[in-house]
Structure 1
Amino acid sequence: MPKRLSEASLADLPSAVVRPRYDRREVSSGIVHLGVGAFHRAHQAVYVDDVLAQDPRWGIVAASLRSPDTYDALEPQNGLYTLSIRSGEGEALRVVGSIQRVIVAPRAVEDLLRAMADPRTRIVSLTVTEKGYCHDPATGTLNESHPDIVHDLQNPHRPRSAPGFILEALRRRWVAGIAPFTVLTCDNLPSNGHTVKRVLTRFAELSDPAFGRFVADEVSCPSTMVDRIVPATSDEDRRRIREALGVTDVWPVVTERFTQWIIEDRFPQGRPPWENAGAEFVTDVEPYERMKLRLLNGSHSTLAYLGYLAGYETVADAMAESAFERLIAGLMDEEVTPTLHMPTGADLDAYKYALIERFKNPALRHRTWQIAMDGSQKLPQRLLGTIRDRLRENAPVERLALGVAAWMRYVTGIDENGAPIDVRDPMAAHLRERADRAGGSPEQLAGELFAVREIFGDDLPNDERFTGAVGAALVQLYANGSKRTVAEWSQPVRS
């Protein structure tokens, strides 16, 4: 069996494999990252890796808030892992070395808090997915009844949640007179920096009003927009990369060539020179964030639910069908683009063209089931905000409503052939209970799910333009199935 990827085996790699261009022994930690998943390792960690030769003070201490899997994979590899960039033209391999060590938070709470409270830590970044912020997706405010928030308020020295860890570390710095770190969220939340600031401030106020004022006045939470498609790593990916490297990498990461990072430049304690790695610093990230959430993420979720129901394992499989491509192009052009207001120089047509080509990339096996996860948290940002804007303009929402209807059909937990769907969602049990009460009736199912205020709020369930469009689409999905429905809806929509 090939030996393991590590510092000792770097010299044995083939010459075509790119490896760190700096001495890792000279790197110190300036960033603590919460949520060390595949996306972080394919995106932010790569940007950091690109600039460590210029400024070695920005190495990463990466923390997993739940599972030890990433620690178990990377610890024997000295934090090293392989980045595979795949396209129709082939594969390029690179070893990334910016992660210095990994902490499993439940096993080492104090270790993680010490790292975050260390004066050398000037940025705490996050990729914990929408649900990791313990907020109400419909309002963007702290969910004060969330079990982890309740626990962390009662046990601040033993936090479980990302907000809990951040605030306990900030509190320690506040008491010690150490300047607060910048909180840099890289998740798909609307106005993500503002949302995180609102969540953290409210949490801090509940624990201590004076501390709440400190967080409100002194903690910087710049907004960001991140964009790179990162499918789950498969056993075939591991085998292929092992053969190319000549050593075993237990958890490589596979991604596409395209990458984008747009950041509001608000870092009181300093930041890495990420602009030298291709990041773009702006005064207001909101237009770019909205562009990505609505065009990429909204289309992705629509593809995921409709594609899964139609029997397609991956996004590329679905997009190989011309009807799916036409549907998504129409969704982007006719229903999403009119809601976007971009700065001068932003090329929406080029971005949309690139998205279609990225979705069609056969080398990326991005599973529809993976994208479909956590829909109750994603729908408000990816589809419902666009729908609200369209309704304010009294404009059609048919294709957007079809995406919502496909989600409703999906969360019943039973596919079009009567087989079970493994629905992964923090509200899965509640949604399934409501779906079961509907008894197979699409009309009753729509009514049951519209009543979930955490997703749809109070306004949309009372707007007949929205409920009528979603209800009609859901009836059609039940009657004709996803594949035939997409074929019919991919034609021009009647206004």
Structure 2
Amino acid sequence: MESIKLNAQNLHKFTDRAAVPKYDRTKVKAGIIHVGIGGFHRAHQAFYTDQLLHTKGNENWGICGVALLNFDDRIYKTLKEQDGLYTLIVKELDGSLTTTIIGSIVEYLFAPENPKAVIEKMADASVKIISLTITEGGYNYNEATKQFDFKNPSIQHDLENPSHPKTIFGYLTQALKLRKDGNLKGLSIQSCDNIQGNGHMTQKMLLSYVEKAAPDLVEWIQLNISFPNSMVDRITPATLPKEIESLKETSGIDDAWPVVCEPFKQWVIEDDFVAGRPAWETVGAQFVADVAPYEKMKLSLLNAGHSVLGILGALIGYTTIDETVNNKNIRAFLNRYMDTEVTPVLGDLEGINLKNYKHSLLQRFGNIYIKDQIDRICSESSVKIPIFIVPTIKSQLKQHGNFNSAAFVIAAWAIYSLGIDEKGNPLNIKDAMADILYEKAKEAKEKPALFLELETVFDNLKESAVFVKAYTKAYQEIMKNGVEECLIAHNSTV
């Protein structure tokens, strides 16, 4: 099949090859700015918005995508060359593909190239929502101090160079100042990252920065800006070159950066929007008064489950999540972790069938067509583990419960941080703290508990004698016998 370059001019040529936008994109205006236009946003929020735009009366809810960081230049250039269009490839459990061209991103900006344009766009009266997928680490939260990290060099740069910011906090501060000075109405800042209470976190971190950078702005933000919490869920692995080529061969769509994802999707949102919002509930999102139970369930089960599979699988030598979860010993371990350590601390989950949810997770993890890379899942574990796993440990310690599986995972991560799997192959560790983790991991070979001194990750876990004992025992057993043998023993005794 002849391949055709994906762009607005050629869009009509794809109607027999994929589902395409049936709305007039030239009439769509950007009422939403989204910062962080990576794969997840394009598989999730942009997808929901694209579906909504097919209903008349929603023309003011298009998306302006902002690429915030220098290394985001590739996605910016791709979207610019393709007029904001991209292909979403849903890999069904039976191996079939559902291919849709998404058109909801109608503007795109590259912040490092033109920070003024981004600030002015955020301050535009037509913008009602600024949403974020900036990763867990983008919130600049210090787990040890529970405060905003002003030592971050990029934050120091923003304080000294307010008109040329590098971080989301610098951009938001300047944009909100313009809105205030122009007597414009407020808006909603909506986090879509995997953080419990992500709206509350966004509010706390932004106000912490503003108190130092522009203290006169604090009260205006408190009165005019809302920070709705949300829970987002759709497994979206990195797009591989072979999938770009396959799309060309099977559909004739020449897309420089399509997005691959699973069929499952979920978006639970706190209904707190001060300037109006899209009717996302008409296309499958759920608006609720309290997102917290849904967030805690997802972070503690799905996200933690991903980290468990990634760390254990990496040490054994696997490269994808489906390989890992289809190892019967790892699958049994994850099942026990979810049932005996996570489920007892989740609290009231009215309206949720937890047994079915956990079963669905194992199916989703095991989707052999997704091939989610372990490298991706394990990236930035130093930020993920404090959010996904440490809270479960603390809750179990508080109620004198079971934390042996979690201790085993932390011990495995300490060994993983040495950078070599059990077959002697190097691990590709992508973590801002990689050097620090490696040094602590080397110290842990002599005394395992030294790894727990990383307070930004573990807070005060090192002070719990019972946890240190369980962790040390697991560490020594893994070093002696390897992950697989330890899992067999663990599963037979838990």
TM-score range, shorter chain: over 0.9
Match among 72, 87, 90 for residue 77 of structure 2: 72
Greater CA drift, 28-37 or 482-491:
482-491
Q: How does 1:220-369 map to 2 (within 5 A)?
A: 220-369=226-375
Q: Secondary structure at the match of 2:64?
A: strand
2:88 paired residue number: 83
Matched, 1:62 2:65: yes
CA contact (8 A) 2:36 2:68 kept: yes
Measured in 2, the distance between the counterparts of 1:156 and 1:126 equals 20
Measured in 1, the distance between the counterparts of 2:476 and 2:124 equals 57
How far the C-alpha of 1:485 sits from its partner, in A, is 2.2
> For residues 200-228 of structure 1, what are the alpha-carbon distances to aligned partners after superposition, in whole Å with 9 as ceiling and x for unaligned?
11111112332122223332111100000
With over 3 angstroms needed to count, the CA separation of the structure-2 counterparts of 1:52 and 1:153, relative to structure 1, is: same
Matched, 1:435 2:438: no
1:463 paired residue number: 464
Q: Secondary structure at the match of 1:63?
A: strand
Q: Normalized against structure 2, the TM-score is what?
A: 0.96
Opposite residue 68 of structure 2, the aligned amino acid is L
Measured in 1, the distance between the counterparts of 2:17 and 2:343 equals 41
1:397 paired residue number: 403
Measured in 1, the distance between the counterparts of 2:28 and 2:40 equals 22
Match among 171, 179, 187 for residue 173 of structure 1: 179
1:453 paired residue number: 455
CA contact (8 A) 1:32 1:60 kept: yes
Measured in 1, the distance between the counterparts of 2:218 and 2:266 equals 33
With over 3 angstroms needed to count, the CA separation of the structure-2 counterparts of 1:216 and 1:164, relative to structure 1, is: same
Q: Secondary structure at the match of 1:57?
A: coil
2:128 paired residue number: 122
Measured in 2, the distance between the counterparts of 1:489 and 1:81 equals 46
Measured in 2, the distance between the counterparts of 1:377 and 1:368 equals 16
Greater CA drift, 286-295 or 17-26:
17-26
CA contact (8 A) 2:8 2:82 kept: yes
CA contact (8 A) 2:443 2:451 kept: no
Measured in 1, the distance between the counterparts of 2:308 and 2:349 equals 27
CA contact (8 A) 1:197 1:216 kept: no
How far the C-alpha of 1:395 sits from its partner, in A, is 0.4
How far the C-alpha of 1:140 sits from its partner, in A, is 4.3
Gap regions ≥5 residues in structure 1? none
How far the C-alpha of 1:308 sits from its partner, in A, is 0.7
Q: How does 1:82-121 map to 2 (within 5 A)?
A: 82-89=87-94, 90-121=96-127
How far the C-alpha of 1:138 sits from its partner, in A, is 4.2
Measured in 2, the distance between the counterparts of 1:342 and 1:298 equals 19
Q: Secondary structure at the match of 2:5?
A: coil
Greater CA drift, 339-348 or 91-100:
339-348
Measured in 1, the distance between the counterparts of 2:492 and 2:171 equals 50
Gap regions ≥5 residues in structure 2? none
> For residues 239-290 of structure 1, what are the alpha-carbon distances to aligned partners after superposition, in whole Å with 9 as ceiling and x for unaligned?
1111222131110000011000000000010010000110000111011000
CA contact (8 A) 2:224 2:274 kept: no
Measured in 2, the distance between the counterparts of 1:487 and 1:358 equals 24
CA contact (8 A) 1:140 1:195 kept: no
1:208 paired residue number: 214
Aligned length: 488
RMSD over aligned CA atoms reads 1.4
Q: Normalized against structure 1, the TM-score is what?
A: 0.96
